[in-house]
Structure 1
Amino acid sequence: MAHRTFSRKTILRRSASPPWPLSKESCWLMGEQLLAGPGASRAPQLSITDPKVCRSYLVGTCPHDLFTNTKQDLGLCPKTHSEALKSEYENADDQQKRKWGFEFDYMRDMQKYIDDCNRRIDSAQRRLEKTPDEIRQTNALLKQIGELSRNIEDGLIEIQILGELGSVNTAVTEYFRIRQQKQLKEDRERELKALSDTSGPSGHQKLQVCDVCGAYLSRLDNDRRLADHFFGKMHLGYAQMRKTYQQLQKDLQGRQPPIRDEPSGPRGGYDDRDYGGRSGGYGRRGGGGGGFGRRGGGRW
């Protein structure tokens, strides 16, 4: 039986297309360019100024890449991340970068997520505030402590006057009364401290809110647990975002964003009102990166 022979061109031509018909789903899964053969044309490359390109990715780090696999995972970025365009931006001179003005896009994107985080921090802080009954008890104790302090001060003055007048017995009686007032004042101060330590829905755990990422932390946590938080992906992501935002605010101060013929809205176009330093300081109060307790530097 004679064997048929095929030329090399015939084999390549036949292997370039599948030997059986494929469904649309199969074509999509395998990739249209792969099935189209070596002569097919590729999709056109986007230009660096195309609104579909993620400008945060070009300038720095896209917020969508900061929180993957965390509780704040933002999902995939709807814009295009192109390494070639990022390299083009990095190699451009300062004059060209100022003309593009992509830093303003980056700053606006970060501001959006920083504002969202700050709202979560405020909401979490309100959940830790005292109940109306705890506020009433605190005010009552403060009032009693204030009255006792005034009575003690007046009593000491009276004892001094009685001593100068020679009324020793009356002065001694007043002295013992003042001692009772001091003891009562110390008791009320201990009650106030106990109420402060245990007030709020989770006061017994001594919870506070991280000033950078909004997570709950406890003063009872050991150093290992605190380190796990402060070096965790979510905390470091927000710390990096706040620090970068604050630096961009300084760098772009006095500069106006370029005028573009692009639609306004999420991640497109400009609104000068978006740039005024409303929020986004590092640690919300502008200091440090380990914000804990909304006011401080330091760990607590």
Structure 2
Amino acid sequence: MEEMRSLLDSLMGKDRNETDARKKHSFKDDNVCKYYLIDFCPHDLFHNTKSDIGRCKNIHSEVLKEQLANHEDYKYYRAKYEQKFMRTLENIIDLADHKIERTKEKLRYMSENSKNHVDKKEKIESISNHIEDLQKREEEAREKGDLVKADSFSSQVTTLQAEIKRLNEEPEKVAEPNLMVCEVCGAMKSPGDPITKLENHASGKQHIGFETIRSALTKLKDTVKEREQIIEKYRKEKYAHDEKSSRTERSHRDREHRRRSSSHRRSSKRHRSHDRNSRTHQSNRSKRSRKHSSSYRSRSSSWSRSRERHKERSSIEACLELQISWKGLNKDDSIKGAAEALKKKDAGKNVFETLHNLFLEEKESNKRKHEDLSEHIDKMKAYFDEKINSLKDNTHENLEELKYYLDQLNRNNKDKATDNNTFLDELEIVKNDVNKLKKEKEENINLIKTSMRTYFDKIKGMLSVMNANIESVREELATYKENNQIDNKKKNIEILQLINEENEALNKKMEESLNSLSSDICEATEQIINFKEHMENQVKDIKNETDMNKREMDEKTNELTTNQKKLLNDFYPSEMG
């Protein structure tokens, strides 16, 4: 059922059962998988495997794939999505390569342990042979009645048996012979495996998934320059098209402005002619009234007319100053000439008409500026909307990549935690073993010291007994000489010979005991030297393991920092367009 549902989703879309109003999707939507549109989705490759990265939450649709293929800007969108696709594939391959390196280091460490295992076997064999030799010598000593020597041999045997037991109880990680890592997917395999097993590995889901990702990544890396050229060409063409459309809109607005200004000028001319007729009528009335006025009234009227002329002149000059300031002219150079020209040419015109015209022109220019500004603002809005949408797409994609990468980081951290815990457990075991060895060493040294003391005490006792026997024999001889005069020299010679034989036997026994003591001391020194060498080798191994783990931790921290920087660079792109 799940396979049928996924097949229907890929062919008809996940919204195949919804209404037509809600079914209208575009390949540009955020909830559409861009990887599936151009080639394949990596989430579908590792389902139910050790490298599973979860299900894809976006839409996989063949209809949207056809929509992208039929779009007029297909090359641009394909190049854009391929850039993102290449980044995600690089992240997946980086994690896989890191896993491969870690497994290789583990195999190296396990192979070194296997060499140590061979050395340990040889050491156990040599110790067991030495134990057999000591047991034989112990039996011989017991048969001869030399209990001290037999006890020393038995104590040596017990210490060596404890050493064999300790070596057998040491934890080991031994690698299988000829074990190697697959360079594609990171799984472990052996060249000695049967052909069917190797074929099953090569046809497995995980191996095929990493193989397809690696081949797709090599193809994408080969076409990076072509994609960059396509994206740059599209941006230039779009910019040129926007400029052309803005120029056409500007020319259309200018034509509209000229048309409005011409109609406004015609209407202002009509108003001016009407005002001129009204002014002539008023002037005729004032002339008729002035004929009937008195001299005082004529003087006052002349004074008022001069005052009006002065006002008119000053208002004209003010209007000219305002016009010059609006048009950006030099006031000192042009105000006098313009005033004289106005006085000569248009002395009878109304000042408010010129002001009205100036205000209208300024209003039209401000309107044009406002339209240009609004057009520019609309362009900027469209540009920034496009940039915001692209940034949204990039942020959505980067967030997905971040989530995927964080999941992988959490998994790696869990693996690291387990590895560190196992390493700490092994360290504690080694420390306990070292402490046990130290205690056993001290006990063995104390046993050897006590046995040597007892042996020397026994030798001293034997020597004192021998001296006492010699003195007693001498005393007997002296008494015999005093009491009985021996005439036969032969008897004296025989007695002396017996005494010499006894002395020689005692000397031989002393030499044998001293030789056995020296051999025991040499064996004890050899055991102590071997024990020291063994301890030094173990300390070196522990130091090497700690150094290797420190290097691993440093490499992992460096890799984490580089990946975080890469993610931050992807999340905050430096270009704005």
- For normalisation by structure 1, the TM-score amounts to 0.50
Q: Which has the higher helix share?
A: 2
Q: Highest relative contact order (Cα 8 Å, sep 6+), 1 or 2? A: 1
Larger radius of gyration: 2
